[in-house]
Amino acid sequence: MNNKTNPAVFIIVLNWNGWRDTIECLESLQHLTYPNFRIILCDNGSTDDSINRIKIWALGDSSISSSDTNGARFMKPIKLIEYDQADAEKGGTDDMESFIETSPHNDCMVIINNKDNLGFAAGNNVALRYAIKRNIPYIMLLNNDTVVTPDFLTCLTKDLINNSQWMAIGPKILYHNNPQYIWYAGAQINLSQIAVKHLGYNQIDSNHWTGIKPTDHISACCILARNKLFQLIGLFDEEYFFIHEDWDFSCRVKKNGLKLAVDLNAVVYHKVGGSINNRKGNLKNIYFSNKNRLLLMKKNASTKEMIRGFGYYTISRFVKFLSLTLRLKLSQLFIEIKSIKDFLSGYSGIYDRNNASSVNRHNIKLN
């Protein structure tokens, strides 16, 4: 699968109860111009019949589709190889991998079945361990709620081949439902305010937003990384069940003296918040975002940044709590307080995974 001109890329797509978005994403990947990639679909213990529906799509059944798939494509049926978590983390099995190596890239897809909802970081790490064991030179993480443009992978792979200083690169990300507007065009991390500022956020896309630029932060919505980056700094930190694991990853890249970039000529469309129902006031989002901001500060800030950051956080929470109380937004107030309490108690990672069953798309159990 590897060659010098077009080195192999594994594209990891994590699914959890989101087969409609996932199928639309997978369908868009069938149009890629890059000639040497393989899709690794990692399912996080879905309970909505996701795997069965994705298998039906792979067979070419046009009844299993979503708004942008346009039914079955000429390259279907797609051969499917399935692994459980244990076999995947060992790098697969010899017989299955031999079969994969003899199949054209777009004729075969690997499905990894995680037994439980491991969260974003731990779920993706299963597929990353598989890819690293296979010694694939480039690995991409791609959100299942994205739709890609045909040449984006060609652009990003060429960037890393031609620019040895970049260890990972991301594309410009536009809103799927409002594609003239930018969601991400690079970002700046400010640990003194425990914040990441997306460059170009909500601005109209234009010729101003072109070229390859350095960035502090690379969005986990879409990352193309060198295999050796994960060997140098490790995988995603599994203390983050979901949200802000890419902030932490970007901080670790920077602390190791390595560089990230964004190619504004490569474009992906993102259904922002599609995987977590990211509406304003969503309690699940508030809980994990708030708790993981504090975890990010604890793990990555310098002493000076920590003093400023926790000072800023304390003042901003006082103002926010007063505002929530006056507006009778008591559920939001209680969930913010719970997130702080759980952070101070050291509840993250395994605690969050063990309690995932009590969290649905709209709420989080207060206990």
91-143: per-residue pLDDT in tens? 999 999 998 888 776 689 999 999 999 999 999 999 999 999 999 999 999 99
**Model pLDDT, residue 277:** 46
Instruction: Annotate the chain with three-state secondary structure.
Output: CCCCCCCCEEEEEEECCCHHHHHHHHHHHCCCCCCCEEEEEEEECCCCCHHHHHHHHHHCCCCCCCCCCCCCCCCCCCEEEEEEHHHHHCCCCHHHHHHHHCCCHHHEEEEEEECCCCHHHHHHHHHHHHHHHCCCCEEEEEECCEEECCCHHHHHHHHHHHCCCEEEEEEEEEECCCCCEEEECCEEEECCCCEEEECCCCCECCCCCCCEEEECCCCCCEEEEEHHHHHHHCCCCCCCCCCCHHHHHHHHHHHCCCEEEEEEEEEEEECCCCCCCCCCCCHHHHHHHHHHHHHHHHHHCCHHHHHHHHHHHHHHHHHHHHHHHHCCCHHHHHHHHHHHHHHHCCCCCHHHHHCHHHECCCCECCC
Give the pLDDT band of residue 253 (cuts 50, 70, 90). very high
Other residues' Cβ atoms within 10 Å of the Cβ of residue 248? 19
CA 96 to chain centre: 27
Give the pLDDT band of residue 278 (cuts 50, 70, 90). very low
| pLDDT value at 37 more than 80 | yes
Q: Report domain extents, the chain.
A: 9-270, 283-358
CATH code at 9-270: 3.90.550.10
**Model pLDDT, residue 248:** 97
What pTM was estimated for this model as a whole? Answer: 0.92
164-174: per-residue pLDDT in tens? 999 999 999 99
- What is the pLDDT of the chain when averaged over all its residues? 90
Among residues of the chain, what percentage have pLDDT more than 90? Answer: 83
- Integer Cα distance of 30 and 54 in angstroms: 14
